[in-house]
């Protein structure tokens, strides 16, 4: 580690399950916060998925086992809250209240504590299961994703969980900066709908419903989609007219000089571009277009992408992981491995205890 992290001196308690909550606090830990992961006897359920899965969400943390359903566990929780800045939990609302993980329940220990509740539909939204895929289906994401004549589909990763985790981290830090304790709520539903910003606005204001286009084409910009090439697929994202001029010159295409003309003649533009791109491979086009400042990339598999960008991979103990996406001048995190169960708390006899019925978000 070089320098001091911007969150050095901040202690955050996490009662996290699976993905969204643990991802939020890992981002904070990477920035120098002391994160204490409070786990039930037997461990947080994501330990059962795989060691690498757990490591991808829990590096740089401490682990303390508390049975929050017991008087002793509640007393220890109160002692930790008294010495902490924030507590983040992602469970069903009923479980959050039952376990006393709200500001109203914890303010007697520390009236400056920031309590972040990460749920599926809000603290007053009920206990319906709210895993990533369920939220993406229920908010319209799945319906607008895929080929026009194909079935609805989902991204290849847990976009709703990760986005909600980042939003929860922002809410937590914002309330700490305010200098006031209090309750912060973030829900998967609200975050995903917020991220559908221009899609939702088009419907609410203009009555324009989302429409699927082949190859994941953008609703407004043309050409902005995946294209088949002589070898592989190319993502081409032409927005500004200057991009089009440079691309058209390189691809020997004439006409359609303005954004409005390209949008009005979508089918014709796409046919011309598709024919031009068939003359070279995806990687060939990428090599030709990037020096011209044109947004383009060959479609790669994740293994190929990680091999091509080794600078994003760090080592945390025995695990190789993707580094923090936040770069702070003068600070480089020390990536520590995920903690062993109760590594930073007094040894406790483990007994059968499961949080699966309380979990509110996170997909393996």
Provide DSSP, 203-250: HHHH-------GGG--SS-TTEEEEE-SSSEEEEE--SHHHHHHHHHH
pLDDT at residue 363 greater than cutoff 50 = no
Residue recorded with tokens 């017991």: 70
d(CA 146, CA 221): 18
Q: Which two tokens stand for residue 217?
A: 């084409």
pLDDT at 129: 87
Portion of the chain with pLDDT greater than 90, in percent: 91
Other beta carbons within 10 Å of 266: 13
Residue 348 has pLDDT above 70, yes or no: no
Q: Please say whether the beta carbons of 342 and 64 come within 8 A.
A: yes
Per DSSP bridges, beta strands 61-65 and 34-39 are parallel
pLDDT band at 1 (very low <50, low <70, confident <90, very high): low
Question: Residue for token digits 């955050």?
Answer: 12
Of 232, 143, 237, the C-alpha closest to 192 is 143
pLDDT tens readout for residues 239-285: 999 999 999 999 999 999 999 999 999 999 999 999 999 999 999 99
26-69 residue pLDDT tens:
999 999 999 999 999 999 999 999 999 999 999 999 999 999 99
* pLDDT score for 89: 98
The pair phi, psi for residue 288, each rounded to 5°, is -80, -35
Predicted confidence band of residue 349 (pLDDT cuts 50, 70, 90): very low
Residue 355 reports pLDDT greater than 70:
no
Tokens encoding 210: 């989302």
Measured CA to CA in angstroms, residue 244 lies from 215, 225, 290 at distances of: 19, 14, 13
pLDDT at 220 over 50: yes
Query: How far lies 349's CA from each of 73, 329, 342, in Å?
Result: 13, 44, 11
The two beta strands, 86-89 and 114-119, are: parallel
pLDDT: is 351 or 244 the higher one? Answer: 244
Q: Is the bond preceding 223 in cis, omega lying within 30 degrees of 0?
A: yes
Query: Does the pLDDT of residue 359 top 60, yes or no?
Result: no
Mean pLDDT for the chain overall:
93
Over range 298-323, report the average pLDDT.
96
Distance linking the first and last C-alpha atoms of the chain: 30
264: left (phi over 0), alpha (psi -120 to 50) or beta: alpha
Which helix H or strand E contains 23, and what residues bound it?
Answer: helix 20-30
**Under CATH, which architecture does the 11-195+309-322 domain have?**
3-Layer(aba) Sandwich (3.40)
Active site residues: 161
Q: Which pLDDT does position 351 carry in this prediction?
A: 35
Structural domain boundaries of the chain?
A: 11-195+309-322, 233-298
Position with higher pLDDT, 354 vs 282: 282
pLDDT of residue 241: 96
pLDDT at residue 106 above 70? yes
Q: Higher-confidence residue: 346 or 273?
A: 273
CA distances from 149 to 34, 146, 213, 266 (A): 49, 8, 9, 18
Sheet holding 34-39, edge to edge: 61-65, 34-39, 11-15, 86-89, 114-119, 182-187
**DSSP conformation class of 125:** S
Q: Is 70 exposed, middle or buried (0-12, 13-18, 19+ CB in 10 A)?
A: exposed
DSSP secondary structure, 50-64, as one string: -HHHHHHHHTTEEEE
Could you tell me which residues come within 8 angstroms of residue 74 by beta carbon, excluding any fewer than 6 positions away?
68, 100
Flag whether pLDDT at 2 surpasses 90. no
């Amino acid at each position: 580690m070089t320098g001091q992290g911007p969150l050095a001196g901040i202690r955050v308690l996490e009662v996290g399950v699976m993905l969204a909550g643990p991802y939020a606090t890992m981002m904070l830990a990477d920035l120098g916060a002391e994160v204490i992961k409070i786990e039930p006897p037997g461990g947080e359920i994501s330990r059962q998925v795989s060691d690498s899965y757990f490591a991808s969400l829990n590096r740089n943390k401490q682990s303390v086992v508390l049975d929050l359903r017991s008087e002793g566990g509640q007393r220890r929780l109160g002692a930790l809250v008294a010495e902490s800045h924030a507590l983040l939990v992602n469970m069903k609302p009923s479980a959050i209240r039952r376990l006393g993980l709200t500001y109203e329940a914890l303010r007697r220990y520390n009236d400056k504590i920031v309590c972040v509740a990460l749920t599926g539909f809000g603290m007053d939204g009920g206990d319906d299961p709210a895993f990533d895929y369920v939220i993406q289906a229920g908010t319209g994401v799945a319906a607008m994703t895929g080929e026009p004549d194909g079935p609805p589909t989902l991204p290849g990763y847990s976009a709703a969980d990760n986005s909600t985790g980042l939003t929860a981290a922002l809410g937590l830090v914002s309330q700490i900066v305010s200098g006031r304790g209090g309750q912060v709520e973030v829900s998967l539903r609200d975050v995903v709908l917020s991220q559908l910003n221009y899609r939702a606005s088009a419907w609410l204001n203009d009555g324009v419903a989302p429409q699927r286009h082949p190859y994941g084409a953008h609703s407004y910009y043309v050409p902005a989609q995946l294209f088949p090439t002589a070898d592989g697929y190319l993502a081409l994202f032409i927005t500004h007219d200057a991009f089009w001029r440079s691309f058209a010159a390189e691809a020997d295409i004439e006409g359609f000089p303005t954004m409005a003309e390209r949008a009005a003649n979508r089918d014709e533009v796409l046919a011309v571009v598709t024919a031009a791109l068939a003359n070279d491979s995806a990687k060939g086009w990428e090599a030709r277009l990037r020096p011209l400042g044109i947004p383009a990339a060959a479609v790669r598999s994740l293994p190929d992408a990680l091999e091509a960008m080794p600078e994003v991979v760090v080592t945390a103990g025995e695990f190789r992981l993707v580094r923090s996406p936040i770069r702070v001048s003068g600070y480089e995190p020390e990536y520590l491995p995920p903690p062993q169960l109760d590594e930073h708390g007094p040894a406790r006899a483990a007994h059968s205890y499961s949080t699966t019925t309380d979990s509110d978000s996170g997909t393996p």
